[in-house]
Structure 1
Amino acid sequence: MRRTKYIMSGGLAFSEDKDMEKLRRFSLKGWHVSGFKFMGYVLEKGEKLDCIYSVDYRPIKEEEEEEYAEFFSSSGWAHIASEGDVHLFRANPGTKPIYTDRETTVEKYENSARPINKLAVPLVLATVLLWVGAMVSYGFLNIFLTVAAIVLSVIAIPAAWTALAAARNRWKANNKKTFVYVSYLLPILVLLIAVLGLLLFDIRAVRMLVYMVIGAIAFPATIWFIMSFSHKMRKDKV
């Protein structure tokens, strides 16, 4: 019988609470998270326990790790694993949450957004410049810039959506409802602009970009809908 297994994450920027609830459900079945893995978690078989989970986002130096873990341990939160600036903790039900006020919660999501923004902003800018170059160039240069733009878009578009989701979490924590609403409307607006561009322009580079944008919005939206529906069904069963 297998003693370990892998489960996917919904993406902490998109579904942190759902991920933590999912880990709790698995603990109730005797599968306890032991670490992070690419786009998910590693679970180990053990006794059935009711545990709650939480994450913290913070850059920690190696010499600070022990003190950091002890600080949370004194509050009832046991450190499980870390991946970069993301740290996963487990506690007994009823333990006081790691973050209980707006100021520290905002700080948490600012910490989570910082590394994402450092990656997303230059990637998006470089991608935009490459697409502009592809639209105004000809011949071999056009082919080169188009290929480079496509390759970079594969990384830049998901990074941009992740950065937007991380920003939304920060705005929610800071009770900035207008920004939250705009963040939900932005993908729809981008999708409408993309469809409009498809109708108005017959430039190959533009049409390729539009198809990529439409796919980048439609595919994650479909995955999100399926995962949300699955999460709701499982929650109703519990």
Structure 2
Amino acid sequence: MKKTKYILCWGLAFSEERDMKRLGNYAKDGWFLEKLTPFGYRLKRGKPQQIEYSLDYQNNPDQEYFLFFKETGWFHVCSIGEEIHIFQAPSGTKPIYSDQSTKIEKYAREQRQIAKVAFPALLLTLFCFFLKGSGLPSLVPKILGQISSVLIIPSFIALVFSGLPCLAYTFKIRKLKKDSI
């Protein structure tokens, strides 16, 4: 029998709640989150349990951060870098974020962080498109046109992988604010 299994992540910015619920359902069948992989989750085989998973964003957390969660019943499972952390707790444990204002803070903090990449990527992509499609060869030196040809693909990729999550967090924040009214 297999001892590990890989499942896809639909993008934490887009389907955090769905993915955490899905991981909880896998735990009922005896598959537990072991670590995050570039495009998903690696699960390990164990004894079926009723547990919940929750995600938090905290840049460069200290021991006090993890101790706080442990004292409230949430145990650290794994992290992506020094910013995204997944916790687990027995079903029925009080959620990490139980009110709208703390959820809004969580997503706003992550939105600000990812916007540091998304906004420059947007500007660079637009600038490269402008240089490529300007049709003004006499005004644009040839070297700038060549540089924009090289930069347009990586800048567009950076824009997609940062801009779409940034938009997802924006919509989550708006929905939470609307629901709290």
The aligned residue for residue 151 of structure 1 is: 154
Structure 1 contact 57–85 (Cα < 8 Å) conserved: yes
Per the normalisation by structure 2, the TM-score is 0.87
Structure 2 stretches lacking a partner, 5+ long? none
1:53-202 aligned within 5 A: 53-61=53-61, 64=62, 66-83=63-80, 84-136=82-134, 137-138=136-137, 141=143, 142=145, 144-175=147-178
TM-score (structure 1 length as normaliser): 0.67
Q: Is the 8 Å Cα contact of residues 117 and 158 (structure 2) preserved in structure 1?
A: no
Please, which runs of 5 or more residues in structure 1 have no aligned partner?
Answer: 178-238
Deviation at 1:133, TM superposition (A): 0.9
- 1:175 Cα offset (Å): 2.1
Distance 1:29 1:162 in 2: 31
State how far apart, in whole Å, the 1-side matches of 2:112 and 2:6 are.
28
The percent of aligned pairs where both chains have the same amino acid is 33
1:72-125 deviation line (CA, Å, top 9, x unaligned): 111111111111311101111111111112221111111221221111110111
Greater shift, 124-133 or 67-76, is seen at: 67-76
Partner SS state of residue 55, structure 1:
strand
Which structure carries more strand by proportion?
2
- 2:34 is matched with which residue? 34
CA RMSD after TM alignment: 2.0
SS at match of 2:178: coil
- The higher relative CO (CA closer than 8 Å, separation ≥ 6) is in 2
Cα distance, 1:70 vs structure 2 = 1.6
- Aligned pairs, how many? 174
Deviates more, 1:146-155 or 1:156-165: 146-155
